[in-house]
Chains A and B, each alone.
Chain A
Amino acid sequence: MTHPILEARNLTKIYGQNVIFKDITLEVKEGETIVIIGPSGTGKSTLLRCINLLTPNDGGQVFLDGKEITARGYDQDEVRQHIGMVFQNFLLFNHLTAFDNVMIGLTKVRKMAKDRAREKAMEELNRVGLADRADHYPGQLSGGQQQRVAIARALAMDPRVMLFDEPTSALDPELIGEVLGVMEKLARDRMTMLVVTHEMGFAREVADRIVFMEKGSIVEEGSPDDLFYHPKYERTREFLWKITELYGKKEKGKAAAP
């Protein structure tokens, strides 16, 4: 049995008096798409940032490809080349064009030769459907376009895992689709993805596994079918169906209410 590509063991994070999350253990197998859902403020974003070491943890370990990246003295900058991250507010580099945003990691971090880097950057922009906007600055792009460039930027580093931190929460409703479309394509191409989102439709259609987090711990996890139709906990059922109602997702041929 191959070990999981990404593993978190007993991860704990505390801010002052508040326990953000405690003893989180999570396994992600290669090619899986895991969606983390739960009420706001339950530490889902912080969890992602602890996984790619942007935020230090207060207990527990993270393993990438079997190696413990939380070990002392581990080169954190190097690790982040292998874990891609997409942020809620895109965080594109404002002073660079879309093309340069994607390319800068290749030239400055991976020290790629300029022409190879240019080729690859173009490839990634194509992949997210924005090759024709390559010379635009973030200020000239819509939210959906910016987020797609952000995805291209993360993909360019050829990461082992892609982390998505509420990628569509800051978008106008009509722009959400284009970003989810790109993410769906990635999932189909068997990219390993860990996604924090409120988009239940995406969770149901695309996730291999859904993890429901609340008050700093994992309440339940399982396949979309399991969680939506045979949840083990009342709370899980309550949350899922409330959110589904709120987002007005229609059920294909199944009853819309619990």
Chain B
Amino acid sequence: MSNLFNYIVQGTAITIGVTLVALPFGLILGLLMALVHTYGGKIFNRIAAAYSLLLRGVPPIVLLFILYFILSGSINLSPFWAGSISLGIVSSAYQMEILRGALLAVGGGQMTAARAVGMSRLQAIQFIILPQALRLAIPPWSNEASIVLKDSSLVYALGVPEILRRAQQLSATTQQPFLAYGAAAVIYFVLVFAVNRGLDYLSERTKLPTHS
């Protein structure tokens, strides 16, 4: 019994691993694209907009397959890495939209004020805009984080031995499909719950003080 338990736990580690690769990758790429869209010139704005529309208009699993075949064709990447990076690229489009919204919410006034004290645009973005935008982005971002966690199950289709793949194997060996897939569901539920709670806490901690 403990062997089975171990087996599933190892799958959990892989699922978490996929999420921990995809999410930060998506954040960096998404942040870059959001900045390019908001502060780049007209041409970059259009390119970024196209990036967002294309990646968000296609089902993640389709993109996963396309990117996986491209990535593993050119560089020799394992399904884990190819899948995780692909998920990261998909997520970057959604994160870009979230960050764009946050940048907009910070407002042009902050940029004006920063430039009025002599900061360059880059300095203003780094010291004034981003610190505020990232705070504002936490609630919608935590939604995206749990989406990426759930979408990590898609790498099942690439053969990566994450929770779902293992549940399937378990269901074959134990002939208890309901328990096996039920266990998978429970594990995911706990993970998503933990992520949401954790990010809610972060959101509370980084709130800016107002009149008491």
Contacts and interface: CB of A to CB of B under 8 A. Distances in A.
Do A and B have CB atoms closer than 8 angstroms in the complex? yes
A54 B127 contact: no
B110 A139 contact: no
Interface string A31-69: 000000000000000000000101000000000000000
A109 B116 contact: no
A52 B131 contact: no
A108 B123 contact: yes
B113 interface: yes
B138 to A, nearest CB: 13
Nearest to A79: B118
A89 interface: yes
Interface in A122-158: 136-137, 139-140, 153-154, 157
Interface stretch (A91-99, A112-120, A199-207): A91-99
Interface residues of B, number: 22
A231 B201 CA distance: 64
B208 interface: yes
A155 B135 CA distance: 29
Interface string B200-212: 0000000011111
Given A77-B119, A109-B119, A157-B117, A95 B109 contact: no
B112 interface: yes
A139 B211 contact: yes
A78 interface: yes
Interface residues of A, number: 28
Interface in B136-170: none
A91 B118 contact: no
B112 A109 contact: no
Given A89-B109, A93-B128, A95-B135, A140 B116 contact: no
Interface stretch (A80-88, A175-183, A186-194, A241-249): A80-88
Nearest to A93: B128
Interface string B82-115: 0000000000000000000000000001101111
Nearest to A163: B116
A91 B110 contact: yes
A84 B135 CA distance: 29
A91 B115 contact: no
Given A108-B127, A137-B209, A80 B109 contact: no
A105 B123 CA distance: 10
Contacts of B209: 136-137, 139-140
A6 interface: no
B117 A109 contact: yes
A140 B118 contact: no
A238 B109 CA distance: 34
Given A137-B208, A139-B208, A140-B211, A154 B116 contact: yes
Interface in A161-186: none
A136 B210 CA distance: 9
Given A139-B210, A140-B210, A94 B117 contact: no
A92 B117 CA distance: 11
A54 B132 contact: no
Contact of B114 (A79, A93, A110, A157): A93
Given A80-B117, A137-B208, 8 more contacts: A80-B116, A91-B110, A92-B113, A93-B113, A94-B110, A109-B119, A137-B210, A139-B211
14 contacts: A54-B112, A54-B115, A80-B117, A81-B117, A85-B116, A87-B109, A91-B113, A93-B114, A95-B131, A104-B127, A109-B123, A139-B208, A140-B209, A154-B117
Q: Give the 10 A-B CB pairs with smallest separation, nearest first.
A: A91-B113, A81-B118, A139-B210, A105-B117, A85-B116, A80-B118, A109-B118, A77-B120, A91-B109, A95-B131
